Chains A and B, each alone.
Chain A
């Protein structure tokens, strides 16, 4: 199975600008992340943290500047091409109230073309609610399910938007473990958060 990470050697952002609703959110943003690097993006509400992640994911077109990745020896600048390397953890978890965590994971495994791994439910501490429809899950449990999904999809470039939201202490530890694991395996991560995160990472404060 192709569950192994496809390698992204680096992510390079040059002179990036973002315009939302007629307002320039940020401009002239440049950085470069190589394998194993993490970047923590901070800043107050409305400073463009989410927009930056959406731009990196290719879910938004940049107003100016370029985003490119180097993967398997080739330079990729195309948005939809880049999307295939992204592991996404957004504000909303995409958990369908009618589906159980087990079903949700099986769905994402098939959708992303990776092997389904039910043991992941244990890793994120959901083994007891694995067969309960998601509508009965708490916000923190849904977040854990999203973490399992993120891990399962096996993408090399993680983009996490406020990943600590609604997680308890053990959930936060779990997230850190997953992140360190990911980085140690040669992955890259960009994390937007205004909570402190005990991770060896570069910082990018947006204003």
Chain B
């Protein structure tokens, strides 16, 4: 636990320091959301309708920014060898990495989302749904993204390949997440939040094992 905590703290610190990924992901999130009205027009009704979906898509894309380097940086500078030789298991390494990623990306994005929702004119009733769905759904993004990051850690231009690998796998998160917001807008109960929660729990529970398998194969060939 101490070793896991150590890696977690180090990764959070690296992401939070100047030049780290946390602030950049937030800025990217805000930039994408700001661009949308320029693309589709400033009609308040239209924006209110698409706000949930736009915020969700932007949040997923912003999440991907730091993900492809999640293991790669440690692989390239030799840190991953030192992690592999530490008492921490590969499963533990994956858990620490994906948790740190969520704490420095998913969580800040969730906190920033109401401000951006304001820009998109999201009706007041849907704010809770937006925040709760992001809070529940972004861990799944970090989890699935960690697995893909572990698979691609040796690829020099992995950042280009990365979205292709994860986007189909993340479709359910976007569907259920945006669906939960839409449900609140329409005042209906469609169970999206529960489906999202189930998906997220499964992803978070399975990811450490798949991620560890990917790390093992990358270190041992």
Contacts from A to B (Cβ < 8 Å): 57-61, 80, 83-84, 86, 88, 90-96, 98-99, 103, 107-108, 110-113, 149, 155
Contact = CB atoms under 8 A, between A and B. Distances in A.
B77 A96 contact: yes
Interface stretch (B3-11, B160-168, B178-186): B3-11
A61 B217 CA distance: 10
Interface residues of B, number: 29
B14 interface: yes
Given A61-B220, A113-B3, 14 more contacts: A57-B81, A60-B220, A83-B85, A84-B85, A88-B82, A90-B81, A92-B78, A93-B77, A93-B78, A99-B14, A107-B9, A107-B10, A111-B3, A111-B88
B159 to A, nearest CB: 19
A96 B83 CA distance: 14
A113 B84 CA distance: 14
A94 B79 contact: yes
B17 interface: yes
A113 B2 contact: yes
B172 interface: no
Contacts of B45: none
B17 A83 contact: no
A98 B86 contact: no
A92 B17 CA distance: 22
A99 B9 CA distance: 12
12 contacts: A59-B84, A59-B85, A59-B219, A86-B85, A88-B82, A91-B78, A92-B78, A96-B77, A103-B13, A110-B5, A111-B87, A113-B3
A107 B87 CA distance: 13
Contacts of A107: 6-7, 9-10
Nearest to B73: A96
Contacts of A110: 2-3, 5-6
A20 to B, nearest CB: 10
